[in-house]
A = this chain, B = another copy of it.
Amino acid sequence: MKPGIKVFAPASISNVCVGFDILGFAIHGPGDEIIISEGTQPGLIITEIRGAKGKLPLDTTQNTAGVSAVALLNHLGENKRPLEMIIHKKMPFGSGLGSSAASAVGGVFAVSEFLKTGLTKQELLPFAIEGEKVADGAIHADNVAPCLLGGMVIIRDNVMFDFKKLPIPAGLFICVIYPHVTVLTKESRAILKKEIPMDLFIRQQGNLAAFISAMYTSDFELLNKSLEDVVIEPQRAHLIPHFYALKEMALKEGAMGFSISGAGPSMFAICDNSFIAQEIANKAESFYASKKLKSDTYVSKINHDGAIVL
């Protein structure tokens, strides 16, 4: 019997301050582990989900990892292949860290690696997005693409799967702060105004263009100035307890930028060294502890690898 394989699909930060729905990057941890092995009956079944306290469905038509995997199996004409999947959620969900994207990516990537399809990650992207759609209800590749491909990714078009990986300046470190409160993506999206005032549109465009340019040129001064979200953050900050206190602390510590990860409640700081990132993590945990709120923090480089076989 063929031995099973285990893959890792990392957490990711979407929106990245100035790229609402079009920018995202992967970090090294946390993430999902998914094991695929041969089964005993036709088709894919999910035998176990660890770390999710019964919150996720075993049904492969409802589970994001199952849906992406089955989408690939259907494409390959292998939907009767006996396969078993174990999902180990090693990251929080509803955290704004791309949990469903990690499952969607992990599912299709594990199956592709197990079957040795030879498909590129780019070719797997549409199947991963199918899985993400089950969780999100809409097509958004800004977590899925960086989780699968690694690095920081521009999604030019969510429908045409046009994307581009950006270079990452040496020395960038990310601090992620996840306060244990629930922010539902759908609600976080629903509160956004349907229209953006022209003056804010222009400012956000200037910041976005400058940010992309700064990434190509390792221009940390420009990176610092451009990491300002004048459109989305002001509308969502109130969903996150003490957001502005945390932001003020992080910028004072020397973060180049600080904003909401995805739909929240997680936040992220972009720093030019690991000491600042770690200091922000320590202070954030202490701060939330003083408010009797639980939190987790993660300090990581941007993850160039994306999904990997363990």
Contact = CB atoms under 8 A, between A and B. Distances in A.
A164 B22 contact: no
A53 interface: no
A287 interface: no
A258 to B, nearest CB: 18
A201 interface: yes
A289 interface: no
Interface in A83-120: none
A205 B196 CA distance: 13
Nearest to A159: B203
A210 B156 contact: yes
B203 A157 contact: yes
Contact of A154 (B160, B162, B196, B209): B209
A225 B154 contact: no
Contact of A209 (B193, B212, B225): B212
Contact of A208 (B209, B219, B222): B209
With most chain B CB atoms within 10 A of its CB, the pick from A23, A154, A157, A226 is: A154
B225 A164 contact: no
Contact of A162 (B156, B192, B222): B222
Interface string A148-168: 000000111110101010100
Nearest to A226: B156
A156 B209 contact: yes
A306 interface: no
A195 B197 contact: yes
A236 B231 CA distance: 24
A257 interface: no
A23 B213 CA distance: 12
A52 interface: no
Given A208-B208, A219-B164, A21 B202 contact: yes
Interface string A185-219: 00000001111111001111111111011101101
A210 B155 CA distance: 8
A155 B204 contact: no
A164 B213 CA distance: 8
A80 to B, nearest CB: 39
Contacts of A166: 213
A204 B205 contact: yes
Given A21-B206, A164-B210, A208-B208, 12 more contacts: A22-B202, A23-B209, A154-B213, A156-B209, A156-B222, A158-B206, A162-B210, A164-B219, A195-B195, A196-B196, A205-B208, A213-B216
Interface of A: 19-23, 154-158, 160, 162, 164, 166, 192-198, 201-210, 212-214, 216-217, 219, 222, 225-226, 231
